[in-house]
Chain A
Amino acid sequence: MFNLFNQEKITIIFLLIVIIIAFGIILFRNFNFEENFTINPPVNSLEDNSTVRIEIPPVIIHITGAVKSPGVYQLKSTDRVIDAVKIAGGATEEANLDAVNLAAILRDGQKIIIPYRISKNSIAENNESIYKNIEEMYSSSNTDKININTANASTLQTLPGIGPVLSERIIEYRNQNGLFGIIDDIKDVSGIGEKKFEGIKELICVQ
């Protein structure tokens, strides 16, 4: 077995001491022995630990239609459409709340339209016929455009680049997040990118 010179040994020992000290620092910084990482107190005592608290970003929405005081309001991003309706003075008597997803989470810049009941006489009309009525109402102005808020799967599939899968996704998105405020919102549906949107934006409308 070969042996090292004394000078070499000293150099190596010095090198190893430096390396081991460095490892020690890394090791002890990464192992939190006192478990300091643990959970900060629940939200109801937020004031105690302001450093870890996360500011909820505000959203600004525009609510119109069958509400008592329509207008632009600022809410929290965790709020739902029902909160927006409440802050706008509540729904009027003619409001058709069945046609909106009141549980949808608000998005910044969203426009929420609470639809009116089409005819006061037929209160017991089911949703589908209401949709049909709405469609008729707007179809006069946008004859050749497809309303992405009301169209069913087969109508959506007439759009270029939208197949059965994407149309399902659009409807699912609508059910989860409420109606589309502007046509650009359709890009939030996964699978519809800028390119697809460019192709269909002339053919679609909202409301």
Chain B
Amino acid sequence: MSSNNKYNTIRPLAIILFLYIIGTVFGKFVNINLIFLFIILVLLLVISLISFLKQWDITTALLFLIIILIGMFNFNLNSKPIGANHIINFVEDKKLTIIGTVLDRENYPEQEKISLKVKVSEIEREDQNIRAKGLMLVNIYTGNCPYEYEYGDVLKIQGRLVKPISQNNFREFSYELYLAQKRIFVYTNIWQQKDVQKIGEERVNLLVSFSLSIRNQIKNIIGQLLNPPGNFLLIGMLLGEKTFIPPEIKEVFIESGIMHILAVSGLHVGIIAVALFIFFNSLHLPKKIKMILVVLILIMYASITGFRPSVVRATIMFSLLISGKLINRNRNLYISLFLAAFLILLINPLILYDAGFLLSFMVTFFIIYLSPIFQELFSKTITLIRYPLSISVAAWLGIFPLSAYFFNKVSLISIITNIFIVPLAGIAVILGFIIFFLGLISIPLASLIANIDYYILMLITYLAKLFSSLPFSFVYVAQPLIFSFGGNIFL
């Protein structure tokens, strides 16, 4: 990386991110009292401040040490339940009555399961109520539920609390880690309808309930106007909700290497940002208002999609780039990428083990870093194909090791597939949003667009099928050796 003055802010940011990640990784093995560690952190910060004022040589080393310690501290703060009245301290071998508020709901149609994320407020015992806190997962297996539990519902749950089993074998799916990433440390399974009762409602957060209602409206309008599987595909592309997409289509998408268009990603955020800029330009809005509006709408979209790591990354990056432009700073993709990663990991360090997060950042980093190099390499090819090809190759290089590690399957055809499918997916997404907005006004008008979009979606599926059926479109790979070593340490 060139270290001329123009880039001088990159270097420390990359180092900070690196040291912080090291801290979080080691935090898993270090079990220190959080208050003790916090006091040490404050002391070290004071010392480094003094050392900076006196211009001692150790300032840099001290700052780096603090960053590592912050990583350790934050990992321990997030990976373990804290507080004596946390719900995890009430786990016992009999049914408890718990009162809490629904924060999130997820449907698993193939398992006939509904999972509710519940914020616990009270535990009811025979003669007394105990104020408790923390999150828990409530898995409801009662088949067809007569009542759809929504965000903000206060429920009275009778169930036995269970701690998720930890990973026993290396690379086995760890339910414990999966739940811990959401700060959930206990769950309960409900088999009878009478064990869950709605006893009230509580509107917790206006932004969340508003985005949920928009989310439901998008699902309604699109589910109504497109024929399956087009509607499921489009809902997946707009909202990242893949639960209803038929498994055979998912398989084809994975094999042709275009699954990322179904996981809401930076691509979508980019499309929305560009579409919004075009729209606002036509309204002749002042530059500042235009940019603030775009950032607000992007945050709204991140909230609608449920703050997935890839969307949050893209939203933070775009917001930083846009605000950088506002204060007339030279925009820098690396800074925004590293800062986005740092912010996300600061809020929840366990996201580091999330495949979506890793893929999103690796691919973005490789695209930013390598695609200019490839563009020069491919300079002899036609200009029209040079740009998409270099991005596609760079992205593939980023995905390759992670895909081998997480899925033991690497798509070779994806370099070519993406050149064709990404623009098509872009059109499908834009049309999807147009369908939604038209659907709010007039359904017949929207169904006109929906028909066009349906054919585009079918074309995408057809192309994906075609490419995945080619010989050597994808290969199964053994897990790369170096990653198994790395994985043993990291996971």
Contact = CB atoms under 8 A, between A and B. Distances in A.
Nearest to A194: B144
A12 to B, nearest CB: 5
Nearest to B190: A190
Given A10-B52, A12-B16, A188-B194, A37 B129 contact: no
A54 B122 contact: yes
A187 B145 CA distance: 11
Interface in A1-42: 1-6, 8-13, 15-17, 19-20, 23-24, 26-27, 30-32, 35, 37-42
B130 A43 contact: no
Given A13-B49, A16-B67, A30-B82, A188 B192 contact: yes
The interface size bin for chain A is 35 or more
A37 B85 contact: yes
Interface in B384-418: none
A53 interface: yes
Q: Which of B112, B132, B143, B193 has the most CB of A within 10 A?
A: B143
A6 B99 CA distance: 53
A71 interface: no
Contacts of A187: 193
A117 interface: no
Given A13-B49, A26-B77, A39-B130, A4 B99 contact: no
Nearest to B124: A54
Interface in B37-57: 38, 41-42, 45, 48-49, 52, 57
A120 interface: no
Given A3-B60, A20-B45, A27 B35 contact: yes
Contacts, number: 115
A57 interface: yes
Given A27-B77, A187-B193, A194-B144, A4 B60 contact: yes
A184 to B, nearest CB: 10
A40 B35 CA distance: 28
Interface string B111-150: 0100000000010100111111100000000111000000
B142 to A, nearest CB: 7
Contacts of A4: 12, 59-60, 63
B45 A16 contact: yes
B60 A13 contact: no
B66 interface: yes
A20 B60 contact: no
B210 interface: no
B52 A13 contact: yes
B84 A35 contact: yes
A57 B198 CA distance: 11
Given A27-B77, A42-B127, 7 more contacts: A3-B57, A4-B60, A12-B16, A31-B35, A31-B83, A39-B129, A194-B143
The 9 closest A-B pairs by CB, nearest first: A193-B143, A37-B85, A194-B144, A190-B191, A42-B127, A39-B128, A30-B82, A8-B12, A190-B192
30 contacts: A1-B61, A4-B59, A5-B8, A8-B8, A8-B12, A12-B12, A12-B67, A15-B16, A20-B45, A20-B70, A23-B70, A24-B42, A26-B77, A27-B82, A31-B82, A31-B83, A37-B133, A38-B130, A39-B129, A40-B128, A40-B129, A42-B128, A43-B127, A54-B122, A54-B124, A187-B193, A190-B191, A190-B192, A193-B112, A194-B144
